[in-house]
Amino acid sequence: MPIPNSERFEVSSVLQETVSLYTNNKNVDLEANIASGDFYVLGDKKLMGRIFTNLVLNAIQSVSGDTRPLVGINLTRLPQNTIRIEVKDNGSGIPEDIRKKVFVINFTTKETGSGIGLAVAKRGIEHAGGNIWFETEEEQGTSFFIDLPLME
């Protein structure tokens, strides 16, 4: 994997670009709540866009059967100059036996998946000084969280 760039960029606009990719998708209900303001972080802007897009795509693909995908995207400011981004779905949740493998490279549950998306996401987020994790409940859905430190 290439080394991510380190550049100062405004992250809420990158997240908003991801939201706009799915706004007109008639097969998905998307709810976005992005705090107003400029939130500058240090990281790889292009990679961050790919991470957000991958998380939304994973959220959509986690919903099976006759259930309509509902994806929530939130950005909130936390104390200590940190932002939190959440991508939440109404999918089937992550089974207990694979939760420890989610961020491992080449691990996938998809027939056509490469197993690098979440491993790359973890590396990119950690390179930016942040953390990524998830909370899941089987048959209820999953939320992926990203905390990133803000630049002054």
Could you tell me the pTM of the whole model? 0.92
At 116 the pLDDT is: 74
d(CA 77, CA 36): 10
At 147 the pLDDT is: 98
C-alpha of 25 from chain center? 18
Q: What is the pLDDT of residues 106-135, one digit of tens each?
A: 666 666 666 678 888 999 999 999 999 999
Residue 1's pLDDT band (cuts 50, 70, 90): low
Q: What is the largest CA-CA distance in the chain?
A: 46
At 136 the pLDDT is: 95
Residue 101's pLDDT band (cuts 50, 70, 90): confident
Q: What is the pLDDT of residues 17-74, one digit of tens each?
A: 999 999 888 899 999 999 999 999 999 999 999 999 999 999 999 898 889 999 999 9
List, in order of start, the domains of the chain with CATH numbers: 7-149 (3.30.565.10)
Contact 152, 82 (CB under 8 A): no
**DSSP codes of every residue in the chain:** -PPPP-EEEEHHHHHHHHHHHHTT-TT-EEEEEE-SS--EEEE-HHHHHHHHHHHHHHHHHT--TTPPPEEEEEEEEETTTEEEEEEEE-S----GGGGGGTTSTT--SSSS--S-HHHHHHHHHHHTT-EEEEEEETTTEEEEEEEEEPP-
